[in-house]
Structures are given as C-alpha cells and as structure tokens.
Amino acid sequence: MKVSELEKKLAQGECAPVYLVLGAEEYSINQAKEAFLKLVPKEEREFNVGAYDMETTPLVEALNDALEIPFFGDKRLVFVKRPLFLTAESKKSKVEHDIDGLMNYLDNPEPTTVLVFLAPYVKLDERKKVTKKLKKAAVLVDAAPASEGEIRQRLKEELQAKGYTITAEALEELLVRTDANLTRIMAELPKLTLLAMETREITVAQVERMVTRSLEQNVFKLVDLVLAKKVQAALGLYHDLLEQKEEPLKLNAILLGQFRLLIQIQVLAAKGYAQGNIAQVLKAHPYRVKIALRNIRQYRFALKDLASAYLGLVAVEKKLKSTQQEAELLFQLFMLEYVK
C-alpha cells in the first residue's frame, strides 16, 4: 500500500502487528514514521516507543523491546531502522543479528506491539528465508521514489491545502532544480510559501531565487548550453563554476557522464525503447531521461556529433591529468571544436 493509504488505515484504527516500509524516498519514509507515532500518545512515547539502527545495534535488542508489554498504555511501537540483513549487502555489516529470533517472532508477534521495519532500499534480497518470511508476515508499505506525475499531483495538493498555487513555469523550474525528487521538493516548500505569503502564488522568479542548483544541476545546465552551441553562455557558466572553486576534473567527469547518458539514450530510443524502459535499462532517474529525450528531439543532433563531443571531453580529461594547461582554456578549445 501507499503511505497515504497507510495514514488512513491507522487513523481508522486498522493496525497490524508487523509492517515493512520499503523504498528509497526519504520523505515517504518519514511520513510513514509520523503516521505510526500517532498510534502512541505523546506523553507515553518516552516509555513505549523504541528505535534501533541495525547498522550499529543487534537485532535482539529490538526484539526484546517488542516482546515487552506497554508501560501505562495500549500500544508499544518499535522501529527497526536500516535492516541491512534483509539485503544482499548484509556481509558488510559488523553487527551480529539474531535472524532465528526474528523468524520465531514473526510466527507469533506480540499483539500489543507494532513492529515497523524501515528499509530505505530499492530492493531486498528475495533469496533469503528471512526476507520471504517478513514480506509474507508484514504489511508492505511502498516508499519507492514517486513518478513525475505523482510528484506534480502531490505538490499541487500540498499547496492547495495551504491555500497556495504555483505557476506552470515555476513548477517546471522547481522540478529541474530538485531533479524531480519529492524529498528535496518538500524541503524547499516552506521557503517558497514564506516568500509568496502575500500573493499566495509561487512564481518562477521565486524558485530561481530560493532553490539553489547543485553542482550536478549546474553541469546539466552547462550541457544544455553546449548542446545548443551557446558558446558565450557556456564559457561564462564554466568560468563561474571554476570561480566557485569547483575541481576541473570533477566538472569534466560529470560532463562526460551526461554525454555518455545522451548517447545511450539516443541509441535506445532509436531501437524503439520508451522513456520508462530506457530509465530501467540505464538505471537512470526517469525525469533525467525525459529531459535528455526532449533535448535530443529539440536539437536534432546526430549520434556522431554526440560521440565527437564525448571524445573531445575525454581528450580534455587526459590533458587535465597530464599537462599544466589551464582548465578554462581547454574548455574553450573544446567548445570551439564542438561548434565547428
């Protein structure tokens, strides 16, 4: 079930003894956590709520807590955070976990305890007996990253509930600057609503003012300028990034990664792959694939031009590592060659 459905069921008093919140969307995990906390009155939480990080704490401590009866209350709530033992990465853990103890607990869970596994992972190791048993015994809550459509809808509902609107242009810019990441969008929302308090409408100017671009996003913008062959604008942004003390090799590596992604997307699109399939094959963010496809259609560049640009950036990387030539000069030469 989705987190929104979980909130409704818990509010209606429908509560199971074991839950598994699975997915890498931090905002959704926090929402689920808040919904569970409402099961225990604030004045009882000190005694009846426990949280155990499995990367530093043995599982047996959480299980012992789950087996205790509530202290002057109706419910005991136990969070098991980052259960690495459910994944293929479990060998990296230095903490010993009582897996047999968990298997036994799942056979007969304590009726007055709500045991919640918060698993911030894309997937679990389905080959493990404990994973299979937990997924069978627990109510599964989906905390996977939301699709672009879900994010748009969620944002509009959130703003509407607060009495705000957002212009179409501002929404697009917000998605770009946050990589269409729900957690980041919701973190930026309080600043935007505060700035738009008088008009109750969030504009693109306010988004540009309040939501800063990360290094990767600045480089994505730089890629757009390179593709559009806007030489002066591209050189200006590259200069600004160097002025901000960004490492030339790091900038070049991100540029290379973006051109590699464009080449891969163009090849797959030519073979008939849809946007969602491309994102799955390349394990790339769907919104980033969408923007790349839009650029490919907009600029109509040939695959050989992308390959030429990619090889040009490889040459820049070699010179950055092996010569004393200035990074800015090397990028200028690359731009001139690409445009030519």
Residues 219 and 206 in one domain: no
Taking residue 86's Cβ as centre, other Cβ atoms within 10 Å add up to 27
How much is the CA Rg of the chain, to the nearest whole Å? 25
Distance (Å, rounded) from C-alpha 106 to C-alpha 340? 67
Residues 326 and 281 in one domain: yes
pLDDT, mean of residues 219-237: 84
- End-of-domain residue from the set 142, 160, 194: 142
H-helix or E-strand spanning residue 114:
strand 113-119
H-helix or E-strand spanning residue 49:
strand 49-53
Question: By residue range, what is the domain housing residue 262?
Answer: 215-339
Residues 76 and 116 in one domain: yes
Question: pTM to 2 decimals?
Answer: 0.71
- Residue 10 tokens read as 């818990």
H-helix or E-strand spanning residue 209:
helix 204-210
Q: What is the CATH number of the domain that holds 184?
A: 1.10.8
What pLDDT, on a 0 to 100 scale, did the predictor assign at position 199?
Answer: 92
Residues 229 and 288 in one domain: yes
List pLDDT tens digits, range 18-39. Answer: 999 999 889 999 999 999 999 9
- End-of-domain residue from the set 210, 238, 264: 210
List pLDDT tens digits, range 237-278. Answer: 889 888 888 888 888 888 888 888 888 888 898 888 888 888
Residues 219 and 233 in one domain: yes
List pLDDT tens digits, range 57-115. Answer: 999 999 999 998 888 888 999 999 999 999 888 666 678 888 999 999 999 999 999 99
H-helix or E-strand spanning residue 45:
helix 45-48
- End-of-domain residue from the set 142, 175, 193: 142
Residues 328 and 199 in one domain: no
Residues 137 and 11 in one domain: yes
Q: Which has the closest alpha carbon to 215: 246, 186, 192?
A: 246
Give 243's contacts (C-beta < 8 A, 6+ positions apart). none
When the pLDDT of each residue in the chain is averaged and rounded to a whole number, the result is 88
What pLDDT, on a 0 to 100 scale, did the predictor assign at position 111?
Answer: 92
State the total domains in the chain.
Answer: 3
Residue type, 96: E
